Amino acid sequence: MHNILFFGDSLTAGYGLASANTESFPALISDKIKALDLPYTVTNAGLSGDTTPGGLNRLSYWLNQPVDVFVLELGINDVRRGIAPATIEKNLQLIINQVKAKYPAVKLALLGMEIPLFLGAGIAGQFNSIYRKLAEANQMALVPFLLQGVAGQKHLNLWDRVHPSAAGYKVVAELVWPVLKELL
């Protein structure tokens, strides 16, 4: 059996869902894997509110189990806390470096986020370019914008209009699955 580790924040954890164990996008991906009888188990290491510094602090715990596929989704909470895009990029690279050092044969996927330009074109431009740069530099599979088709769609989000609803996570899973399936 091979292990897939989804490592992220509330978007990975399934914040606000009735059952994150069945409705989060890692759970939906797990269902797809089981339906195809692929030899992979999925671990959801999403932590609501997590940042790239937080991810760095908790990474070693999750790397104590074998990891064959590492799916990274962090960074948007850093922006909300005023962490500079250059620091976010550096921290994400440090996470990637640690994973590759521990498991040199690991397959990597990066789930990108975007912020709207009206929040500040300079910061938005810097932040929005991080994921593509890191994916290219590290030969990682990339989903450029995890919430594509979900962000701004009231019927696909919770009351906070930030986190996907169960219906929104189905859209997210359909976006992530083709990229992940290529790695498997």
The catalytic residue positions are 10, 160, 163
Is residue 69 within a helix (H) or strand (E), and if so which, with residue range?
Answer: strand 69-73
Distance between CA atoms of residues 147 and 116, nearest Å:
12
Of the candidates 136, 68, 135, the residue with the CA atom closest to the CA atom of residue 103 = 68
**Sequence-separated (6 or more) residues with CB below 8 Å from residue 50:** 8, 9, 10, 58, 74, 77
